[in-house]
Amino acid sequence: MVASCLRRLAQLGVLLLALVAPLAAQQQAAAPKPWFVYLRDGGQSPLYLFASYSFGVPIVMIGTLVDTPHDYYEYLAGAGVNLFASNGNGASVLALGSHATDSWYLELYGLPNATVGKLNVTGFAGVYLPLERQGVHQYFLDPVTVLFRLHPKVALGGSYTIYKIEGLPARQGAGPAVQVVIPYGTATVDALAAIDHFVKELRVTLQFVF
């Protein structure tokens, strides 16, 4: 099962590798603003809250995930590396330990980001590797967002999400997205409709750098 889960991670990492591989011969650039805060909430999915601090290439992160209707939570902490070119394209790759309601997990995250002209693609991909017998394998791409910048402060596009828990059918959704620039960051709204085993949802994601 671990091998199967890792194969899934490899599939989800295709975009990540496509972004990172061309950067291998390029000089790494330190992030000009070390703090990053990510907050996401929706009517049907858990609340996500992460904070990270970048030392240039190394990065540390803490976070929590709260799903009150299902009485589920996670507390996470870990570290990784920033693999970005001077133009900002690349990815952050992290390994985190997670204490969840049902089990301890090792979670592997990939956060690619690429911009070409006015087009921007971002993703949040990961896999759960249970460290206790009662844990369940999971993987997700939640979401991948493609945005076209219409104005320096406004971008429009769409998002796609897939989440798979061992023993359950994959949940997939997609829909339009709008992003606006706010002080110290961005606010993104995704209106996700069901593709398969997904409950439609309006999500708000706030991201801050400072």
pLDDT per position as a tens digit, 113-172? 999 999 999 999 999 999 999 999 999 999 999 999 999 999 999 999 999 999 999 999
pLDDT value of position 32: 61
The answer on pLDDT for 82 being more than 70 is: yes
Q: What structural domains and CATH numbers belong to the chain?
A: 2-209 (2.40.160.40)
pLDDT digits (tens, 9 = 90+) for 14-60: 444 444 444 433 444 444 689 999 999 998 889 999 999 999 999 99
pLDDT value of position 70: 87
Residues 170-177: contacts with CB within 8 Å, 24+ apart?
170/196, 170/197, 171/196, 171/197, 171/198, 172/196, 172/197, 172/198, 173/198, 173/200, 173/201, 175/200, 177/145, 177/147
The answer on pLDDT for 180 being more than 90 is: yes
**Mean pLDDT computed over 103-113:** 97
**Chain-centre distance for alpha carbon 181:** 19
pLDDT value of position 43: 80
Nearest one of 134, 138, 71, 132 to 107, comparing CA atoms: 138
pLDDT value of position 57: 95
